[in-house]
Structures are given as structure tokens and as C-alpha cells.
Amino acid sequence: MLVQSNTSRYTQLLKLKAKELGFEDVGISKAAFLEDEARKLEAWLHQNQHGEMAYMDNHFELRTDPRKLLPGAKSVVSLSYNYFPGEHEQKPEAPKLAKYAYGKDYHKVLKKKLKALIQYLEQEIGAINGRAFVDSAPVMERVWAQKSGLGWIGKNTLLLSKGKGSFFFLAELILDIEFEYDGPVKDYCGSCTKCLDACPTNALFAPYQMDASKCISYLTIELKDKIPSEFQGKMENWMYGCDICQDVCPINARAKAHQEPAFVPKEDILAMGKQDWEELTEDVFEKLFEGSAVKRAKYAGLKRNIFFLKEK
């Protein structure tokens, strides 16, 4: 009689529960120092391609070795969660919002699910030590997701999944238990350069290379100062974030609408026209984006972006 090993059972429990909680894909890698990625990150930082994102330069050791984040860590679990919307903004002339920001703040939605997943594992396995991350800590999420087979890092520097595209959030669990580990998948970008060709600010200046300080997402969210005049007329009407390199990617032709109620956009947001956005008051901003990731830009930041578009 074949006896199932603990690692096999733990892996099965983890993956089945993650799918039950709504995660699309789950991959697992052995926790270890990211030697190659550490060198690449160091070079990228030295070239100052992170702009004003000073946090990228902090906690370098934590960012490149999950065992520093969780002593005794044995596994990094990568999970993806679809956010591709079934509805879109209705007015073509209106300033555009990145699709990930249509609904509730994904940090809170996914963190709750990750905590539920850890609690379930503790019930089934016993006491474990673990930490959950959703795009808010020094974890190289795309690297770990690639290592564990969720997809490959494409020429637009985003993680791409052959069957699903790239409109998904990534989350991680770092745990002190061993699982059956997954491996990477093939890069299917081939000779395609549509993302590079479409980038209006030349942030994607070469395949698999991004100068984040030129990215529209950076300019409209991370940059707190005035948007440099060199980007006037190049923003393609994006007021918060940017989906250009995802929208033109052939892999995203397979993207299917999410089934997450928390990510369903408010009808008022989709119906807003150009003049509505230009006349946006702080009270309306607070109502429209209650519990939304857009709050990160604050009212003043979003108005700055809208007027920058107006001045083109």
C-alpha cells in the first residue's frame, strides 16, 4: 500500500484550499537566497531606474532572501488572483483608470484570504510559522511566481500566464514547512515586441528592461512631485496607472472576467465623462473611491494627473 508523504499531503491541502478561496494558480518554491536576482536588482538600483521609490533600495537582504523575513522559512508559496473586469469605462474621452483599481483595494481583499489559508493549514497540519504578503513588503513576487511556474516574466517585465494573460494580482506566503516544489515554465514571448512598441514614454526601453521612472503608473501614483513636462502629450489619457503594455499583449486575448464581487466597479466610476473628472470634488472622490487603492494617490494627486492630461 502506497503511503502519502507529509509533503505531498500538505501540498494537496494547500492547493485545494487556495483554489477554494478563489486563487487561480498556486506554485511553490524552496526558500533560498536569490543570487542572480540580487545582482540584477543591485544594477537596476544603481542606474536609478526606480525613480523616487526609495523603498526599493531599502531592506535589500530581506528582499533577496525570504529566510531573513521569516527565520526558519522553507517554502515560498506564490498565488495569483484574477482581476480582469467584465465591464469597462463607458466614455472614450474620459481619463482612464487602470483596471486593477476598479474595485476594492486588493491588498485588503487578498490579505484576508491569505490569513484564512494559513488558519486552515494550522487546523489541518498543526502549529506553523508563516507570513502573508500582498505587494506591500520586500518580496520579489514576480521572481518567485516565475520560479514556481505561475508564468514567465515577459518583455514588459510583468508575469504572463499562457492560458490567462497578466491581469492578475500576485500574493505570497512564506512558511516554515516543506511542500512539493514546482518549477518554471517556458517563455512564450517569442519575437513579439508589441508592448515595447506601444509604450508611449519609452519606459520599456528594451526587452525585459524597464525604467520605472518613466512608467505612466509610476508618474501617476508613485511620483509625488510635479509630473515632468517631458511627458506632456505622452500619457495616453491615463490618470491613474496604465494598462497599455497589457492591453496590446496577445497573451491577454485569453483573459477572462473575474468572479470576485469585491472587484466589481461602481457604476458611477464607469459612467464618468471627461468633464465629470475635471470637475471632481473631494467629497465625490471620497465616495467614489471608498475602500479603493486609488486613495493611495489622494484627491490632490488624482487632480494633478487629470489637469496634466488637460494641459497637453
Please name which of 258, 248, 288 lies closest in space to residue 272, comparing C-alpha atoms: 288
In DSSP terms, 130 is beta-bridged to 175
Using CA atoms, how far residue 40 sits from 29, 75, 187, 213, in Å, is: 20, 23, 19, 17
Of the listed 57, 135, 176, 187, which one is catalytic? 135
Long-range pairs for 111-120: beta carbons < 8 A, 24 or more residues apart: 111/171, 113/21, 113/22, 113/23, 113/81, 113/171, 114/79, 114/171, 114/173, 116/21, 117/14, 117/17, 117/18, 117/21, 117/173, 118/173, 118/175, 120/13, 120/17
Number of residues assigned to the chain = 312
Query: Is residue 243 flagged as an active site residue?
Result: no
Q: Which residues are catalytic?
A: 135
